[in-house]
Amino acid sequence: MPVTRGFLGRRRGHEGRLPPGQYDTGAGWPVLTAEATPVVDKASWSLSVDGLVERPTTWSWDEIHQLPESTFFGDIHCVTAWSKFDVTFKGVSVDELLDAAGPTPDAAYVMVHASTGYTTNLPLSDLVDGKAWVVWEYDGKPLPRQHGGPARLLVPHLYFWKSAKWVSRLELMAHDRPGFWERNGYHDRGDPWLEQRYQGD
């Protein structure tokens, strides 16, 4: 019988799923926002993939919903030490967006921009092969505004500061450049299993 990770998670609890130095925040979901929470209207919402791509592409709210939907079920980990188990998000895989835009051979890093000006950087390899999503639903409901609604990036295998709320642009680059928290002392990559919290970790 096929057994999904979610089934195992509910059946067997959370052993082995808490990265070092993290605690289980339980049913709550803390809000961590550096800027003022914006009101982002779906009618004017857009997401662009540009920079080192063959076909710079911008999707409207309706257009992005034409892409094949995909669901993430799993865990998220914030650098401030809370982890949250068994979260469900729905949206589109970043792979779909990159397939449309066509990264050029020299594209190796991505600067993720939010409409508020928040930025975070990642290696392109951390956004491909089913590891990252642009999501608009949490737990079957529209993503709440304070959590990045109408849509945010989701990169659950890295600390949650990489998951930019109110995401508006993925800029493909040849060379790495630090984003907002990375300029302010956070680790460039942020793997929770390696406890890459701060520069030098």
Ligand X SMILES: Nc1nc2c(c(=O)[nH]1)N[C@H]1C(S)=C(S)[C@@H](COP(=O)(O)O)O[C@H]1N2
Q: Residue numbers of the site for Mo ion (CB under 5 A)?
A: 32, 78-79, 161
**Is residue 8 within the footprint of ligand X (CB under 6 A)?**
no
Instruction: Decide: 128 and 49 in contact? Cβ < 8 Å.
Output: no
Residue choice 113, 165, 187, 197 for contact with ligand X (CB under 6 A):
165
The rounded Cα 57 to chain-centroid distance in angstroms is 19
Terminal alpha carbon distance of the chain: 41
Residue choice 45, 161, 168, 196 for contact with ligand X (CB under 6 A):
161
Place of tokens 């550096």: 34
**Is residue 196 within the footprint of ligand X (CB under 6 A)?**
no
Residues in region 98-117 near ligand X by CB under 6 A: 114, 116
Separation between Cα atoms, residue 14 and residue 149, nearest integer Å:
28
**Is residue 30 within the footprint of ligand X (CB under 6 A)?**
yes
Q: Which is nearer to ligand X, 33 or 48 (CB)?
A: 33
Q: Which of 34, 56, 173, 196 is nearest to 111 (CA)?
A: 173
Which residues lie near ligand X (CB under 6 A)? 29-35, 78, 114, 116, 118, 147-148, 160-161, 163-166
